[in-house]
Structure 1
Amino acid sequence: MPDFNDLTLLPLCVGLTLIGLIASWAAWRRRGLNAGIRGVAWSLLPVALYLTNLLELLWDVVKASVDWVTQLIFSPTVWAGIALFGVSVVLFVVSGFVKGRTAPKAATKDSPKAATGQLPQTASAQPARAPKASKPGKKAETSEEFDEIEDILKRHGIN
């Protein structure tokens, strides 16, 4: 792509601004003040970009992007890099699935619990105990509370 210098950019920007101002005047006559003001705002942008040197920056970005795309399309080393990136992503996803399917290290292959993914209980583990009911009346009271909760849940369609 050719590089533009100041001698080519300034007349281009001034020309675009003049064409935009003429179109803005026409828009104001046909569609009203709002359209005309919006057209003037758009028309002033080329000269503003030129005066702030943003036009050259924008040109450099476009040029670098086009160069990168052409290098990407025609370079076998870049395609090899893209292939390796794809393989890396696939391996990362597969490792997540493999991690979820492996049995814990504490269970052995021959153990029937290894297939279910449960850990065997050790001697220090104690079974869960049922809460003690201190009074017979209190047990009936909690049972009624649970019955009320069940009724509320059934009314709302939650089982």
Structure 2
Amino acid sequence: MPDFNDLTLLPFCVGLTLLGLIGSWAAWRRRGVAAGTRGVAWSLLPVSLYLTGLLELVWDVVRSAANWVTHLIFSPTVWSGVALFGVSVVLYVVSGMAKSRRGDTVKAPRAEKKPASPAGELTATGPAPASAAPAKAAKPAKGSKAKQQESSEFDEIEDILKRHGIN
């Protein structure tokens, strides 16, 4: 791409502005004030960019982006980097799938076995059969309020299960 040149861009910007103003005048007559005013606003941009020095900045950005795209498309080194990135993403996804299938999670230490619980209470192996103990559940000895509340919740669940014929 050619370099930025002040002498060639000033007449170009002035020409763009004049063409835009002519088009804005035509739009004003055909479509009304709003279209004409909008055209004047767009027409003044090339000269304002040139006078503020932003046109050189825009030119440099466009030139750098074009060089980057050209380098990206035609460079085997860049394409090998893109391929390696893709391989790393695929390997990461595959490792996550293998971990979830195999169960490579850190296993918690086994809990100590507790004595058998009264009928109707849930245990680690499931609820104890309701027919194995008397209908009334034994009160926990010296239990806290949390244990009593937990026991009452399990009693409610047991009653619901019995009503539905599930023991």
| Interval containing the TM-score (normalised by the shorter chain) | 0.5 to 0.7
Higher helix share: 1
Quote the offset at 1:120 in angstroms. 8.4
Quote the offset at 1:105 in angstroms. 4.6
2:111 aligned residue = 122
Aligned equivalents of 1:125, 1:88: Cα separation in 2 = 48
1:52-97 per-residue CA deviation (whole Å, 9 max, x = no partner) reads: 2221111111111111121122211111111111111111212221
| 1:131 correspondence with 2:120 | no
Secondary structure of the residue that 1:3 maps to in structure 2?
coil
TM-score, length-normalised on structure 2? 0.65
Aligned equivalents of 1:37, 1:125: Cα separation in 2 = 85
The 3 A distance-change label for structure 1 pair 33 and 98 is same
Quote the offset at 1:131 in angstroms. 1.9
Across the aligned residues of Structure 1 and Structure 2, the Cα RMSD in angstroms comes to 2.9
Which structure has the bigger radius of gyration?
2
The percent identity for this pair of structures is 66
TM-score, length-normalised on structure 1? 0.68
- Partner amino acid, structure 1, of 2:30: R
- Partner amino acid, structure 2, of 1:89: V
The 3 A distance-change label for structure 1 pair 72 and 132 is closer
1:101-134 per-residue CA deviation (whole Å, 9 max, x = no partner) reads: 222454xxxxxxxxxxxx785315683787248x
Aligned equivalents of 1:51, 1:61: Cα separation in 2 = 18
Quote the offset at 1:12 in angstroms. 0.8
Unaligned segments of structure 2, at least 5 residues: 116-122, 125-146
My pick for the range that moved more, 18-27 or 69-78, is 69-78
